[in-house]
Amino acid sequence: MRHTRSAVWVSLLAVAASCGGQAPPAPQSPPAPVEPVASTPPAPAPPPEPPSDAPPPKPSLQLQMQDAIKALADAFDAHDPQKVAALYEDGASATAYGTWEAHGRVELAAKLHEFFVAFADAKSVTMRAWTKGNVVVQETAWAGTMTGDFMGHPATHDRVGQLRAEVLVFDSDGLVKEMREYADDAGLVAQMTGAKDAPRPPLLPTNEANVHVSVDMPEDEKLAAFGQAGSDALAKGDVSTIVAALADDADVWVSFGGKPATRGKKALTKALSVWEKAFPDQKWTTTASWVVGGFAIVESAMTGTQKGPLGTLRASNKLVADWHWLTVIQPTAGETVSHVWAHANLFEMLRQTGGLLPSAKRPAPRKPSNMVPPATKGDGAKGT
């Protein structure tokens, strides 16, 4: 019934529309189509302005590390232990192998305070540095006057100093979370006690440090093998294999040697043979390594029994465990080793062999010398 009514209403409306009393108009042509007018879309709204108090973008870790290294050097030269410690994580660790350790900013600041009191005019200079990832490896030199007691030795008011190698590991905020130092404290004690064979204090270079930044290269893997191969050959007592890997004019410098680098295969063969006789059962463990700018840098620890003399040190027949070394290796284009710089603290060995000797009578102060590692091409150093 509802459908019928709807149909009736539709019929009536149709009739009303067609019966208005006038003739229907003549059919007309449809209007011509109108071309649409193109409209330019509105410009996107500009991004909202950041709040005026928003922090600036965080710089890259590399920039943070560069700033931290400069700040550390400035704070050291200003003799401000609190500023140095502030550049470390609150729970950071600092280790000078063979001598001291500090955990956290408070302990580190205390160690630095002792140093600054003992050497009131000490200055430090970075000579070379290598950076890769969150790590900086640097070679530094410091020198100053012994104005206070240090390491149990009374002030002498003589000039002393050292060469050091340091590994600095940074966190994501650019703070140092770990520092590992390799320095010849036995040489420093010899200076403070006036030993006849004490190394001369270094002259501080005046030129800018040579900084090598990591860029991945195809030969990096081969270069990294140099360090491990050398450690393996030392452990086997295989002097001939080590010498075969050296360039004819290769040189090797050892931080506690107190003398220039040993140069040439003949001299190096003799030195290596003495070393092998001193520690015939030595074993080496690589703890970290990097390849940066054509250099291989290796941190390692040596364990062995000192069964033969080492320089002026008599055989102790005692075990030396975990003697820490940092070695920088530079090959030639012909894939042989050209230069080696080896940093270690002889104190770390002497503490285990009982070789620490009483203080000697002090002679006249020694003049400073340009005691720097042998320079490579582009890595020269000028001293003052």
- Kindly state whether residues 73 and 207 are assigned to the same domain: yes
Domain count, the chain: 2
Q: Supply the pLDDT for residue 134.
A: 96
Phi then psi dihedrals of residue 278, to 5 deg: -70, -35
Does the residue 362 lie in any domain? Answer: no
- Kindly state whether residues 192 and 268 are assigned to the same domain: no
Does the residue 324 lie in any domain? Answer: yes
Q: Which domain holds residue 295?
A: 214-357
- Kindly state whether residues 234 and 305 are assigned to the same domain: yes
Q: Where do we find the tokens 């009982």? A: 354
- Kindly state whether residues 68 and 199 are assigned to the same domain: yes
Does the residue 29 lie in any domain? Answer: no
Query: What is the Cα–Cα distance from 59 to 237, expressed in whole angstroms?
Result: 48
Q: Supply the pLDDT for residue 254.
A: 96
Closest CA to 318 of 305, 304, 301: 305
- Kindly state whether residues 209 and 67 are assigned to the same domain: yes
Q: Domain holding 135: CATH number?
A: 3.10.450.50
- Rounded to 10 degrees, the C-alpha dihedral 341/93/216/130 comes to -40
- Kindly state whether residues 240 and 109 are assigned to the same domain: no
Q: Supply the pLDDT for residue 232.
A: 78
pTM across the whole model? 0.79
Q: Supply the pLDDT for residue 4.
A: 39
- Kindly state whether residues 145 and 204 are assigned to the same domain: yes
| Domain edge (last residue) among 213, 240, 259 | 213
Phi then psi dihedrals of residue 324, to 5 deg: -85, 135
Query: What is the Cα–Cα distance from 311 to 143, expressed in whole angstroms?
Result: 26
Does the residue 380 lie in any domain? Answer: no
- Kindly state whether residues 114 and 188 are assigned to the same domain: yes
Q: Supply the pLDDT for residue 230.
A: 73
- Kindly state whether residues 110 and 198 are assigned to the same domain: yes
Query: What is the Cα–Cα distance from 13 to 8, expressed in whole angstroms?
Result: 9
Closest CA to 99 of 183, 190, 164: 183
Judged on CB neighbours under 10 Å (0-12, 13-18, 19+), 15 is exposed
Q: Supply the pLDDT for residue 27.
A: 44
Helix (H) or strand (E) holding 297: strand 295-305
Q: Supply the pLDDT for residue 7.
A: 35
Does the residue 225 lie in any domain? Answer: yes
Mean pLDDT per 10-residue segment, the chain (384 residues): 37 34 43 51 68 78 95 97 98 97 98 98 97 97 98 96 97 97 95 93 92 76 69 79 91 92 95 95 93 93 97 94 96 86 97 73 46 52 47
- Kindly state whether residues 234 and 332 are assigned to the same domain: yes
Query: What is the Cα–Cα distance from 273 to 269, expressed in whole angstroms?
Result: 6
CB neighbour list of residue 107: distance below 8 Å, 6 or more residues apart: none
Phi then psi dihedrals of residue 21, to 5 deg: 95, -5
| Domain edge (last residue) among 189, 213, 237 | 213
